[in-house]
Amino acid sequence: MAATRVRFCLALLMLVASMAAWMMPSAVAGSRPPPNYADALSKCLLFYEGQRSGKLPPTQRVTWRKDSGLIDGQDAGVDLVGGYYDAGDNVKFGFPLAFTGTVLAWSIVEFSAEMGPELVHAHEALRWLTDYLLKATTQPNRVFVQSGEPFSDHSCWQRPEDMDTPRPSFQVNDTHPGSEVAGETAAALAAASIVFRSSDPAYADTLLSRAKQVYDFAYRYQGSYAESIGQWVCPFYCDFSGYEDELVWGAAWLNRATNSSDYTKHIIHGIQQIQTQTKLRVNGYDSQFSWDNKDAGNYILLLLMQKVDYILGDNPLHMSYMVGYGNKFPQRIHHRAASVPSVDQHPQHLWCKDGTPYYVTDAPNPNLLVGAVAGGPNDGTDNYLDYRPWSNQSEPATYVNAPLAGLLAYFSIHG
């Protein structure tokens, strides 16, 4: 078990490295005291409360956020209230959302003991996501994969509590397939069923049953959502790597969740398809692991790239890239809710362009989105410009914190 956990830790290090190019610069060795990994873990999980969409619970700790997205799904006659905004915008993109769920669940499965008192918050973060996925998959052979029209949303700088841009619901189905997003959704539901198996077996049963249903749809009606609804998901979360890796990924998690080999034939077939397409290039695109590409996750390529300490301040700039951690961290992350005064500070409605002055100002964000991890340096150097419009360096995302939670839990005990 210990060896398995070390291998998983190395794999997660690779995952974070591939998702955040800023981890590529060289770290500064040994000149600073070790990070407080437990504190970073707490903040890492708190970030998810700042990304919540829907009716917020009484236990909400990020109190400057309020209810939002309460009409999501109404256009399609379904309840799609809830879930997470993926990054600094106000759209709920289903593909990276599901990937966040899978990897967050994986982190919890492997490192629940190391999470200590934060385990309850990890469970809350995951359940907020899976509750939404259950809503999005209530109908057979249909998965709702996005809430919000991304082009109008991205043309506005508006806090989610005020958003008045169109909120259409996008779906994949038997005539408009989306095997990559459905396969990832199945993986998330299956992985989460393992997390909740001991604490809430009835909920775990529901998750696993739905995972099987969604995977059957993904496998039976094969095709890419980039072709079915590509005009709405591209270029934001367009699928470039094909959907075979998600089918393998989903089948692997179903095998683990069911403690069986029922899906092995799907895994073998999927790997053969990937090999046929000559996708196994160790030094190429397919050595990555991200919301889009699962090849490295499927084959557990143990590629170790820079360490988590770099994120937390062991770098030439001596700054943490996690908001709220340490004495020096990004002040101007690319995030609508964080950069626009909260409803408590500014009760009046702010329309689409009313937030523009807050977008262009050099002033720090008025709301501290604790735990958000900025994109950071991404040009092969250690240079970082704390500049809100530069989204590739300053925008956080839910799918970055998901593997980071596992890393921080591990290092909080073994670091």
Please state, in angstroms and rounded to a whole number, the distance separating the CA atoms of residues 398 and 176: 27
pLDDT at 14: 42
The pLDDT mean for the chain works out to 89
State the Cα–Cα distance between residues 91 and 88, nearest whole angstrom.
9
pLDDT at 278: 55
Q: What percent of the chain has pLDDT over 90?
A: 78
Can you list the alpha helix ranges (DSSP code H) found in 222-314?
225-228, 230-233, 244-258, 264-276, 295-299, 308-311
Least Cα distance to 53 among 45, 44, 65, 63 occurs for 65
Residue with tokens 């078990």: 1
Quote the tokens at residue 55: 């009716």
Neighbouring CB atoms inside 10 A of 412's CB total 21
C-alpha 113/C-alpha 101 separation (Å) is 19
- Single-letter amino acid, residue 264: T
Q: Burial-class residue 36 by CB neighbours within 10 Å (0-12, 13-18, 19+).
A: middle
Are 129 and 97 contacting, i.e. CB atoms less than 8 angstroms apart? Answer: yes
Helix 201-220 / helix 179-195 crossing angle, nearest 10 deg: 160
Please return the burial class of 136, using the count of CB atoms within 10 Å of its CB with bins 0-12, 13-18 and 19+.
Answer: buried
The mean-pLDDT minimum among 45-49, 70-74, 282-286, 319-323 falls in 282-286
Q: How far apart are CA 346 and CA 361, in angstroms?
A: 17
Look at residues 141, 46, 148, 151 and name the one whose alpha carbon lies nearest to residue 92.
Answer: 148
Nearest partner of 181 among 225, 125, 147, 121, judged by Cα:
225
Catalytic residue positions?
334
DSSP per-residue codes, 89-150: SS-EEHHHHHHHHHHHHHHHHHHHHHHGGGHHHHHHHHHHHHHHHHHHT-STTEEEEEES-H
What pTM does this model have?
0.90
Q: Would you state the structure tokens that stand for residue 271, as one six-digit string? A: 């790997």
| Domains of the chain, residue spans | 41-280+313-414
Which residue's structure tokens are 């396969």?
A: 183
Separation in Å, CA 248 to CA 90, 104, 180, 213: 30, 19, 10, 16
Query: What does the chain come to in residues?
Result: 415
Q: What does the buried/exposed string (b/e) look like for 236-249 if buried means 16 or more CB atoms within 10 Å of the residue's CB?
A: bbebebbbbbbbbb
| pLDDT value, residue 24 | 46
pLDDT at 241: 82
CB atoms closer than 10 angstroms to residue 117: 9
- Name which of 34, 182, 7, 168 is nearest 94 in CA terms: 182
> Which band of pLDDT confidence, cut at 50, 70 and 90, is reported for residue 340?
very high
Beta bridge partners of 143: 172
Query: pLDDT tens digits, residue range 158-215?
Result: 999 999 999 999 999 999 999 999 999 999 999 999 999 999 999 999 999 999 999 9
- Compute how many other C-beta atoms are within 10 angstroms of the C-beta atom of residue 184: 35
CATH fold of 41-280+313-414 reads: Glycosyltransferase (1.50.10)
Q: Tell me the pLDDT band of 375, cut-offs 50, 70 and 90.
A: very high
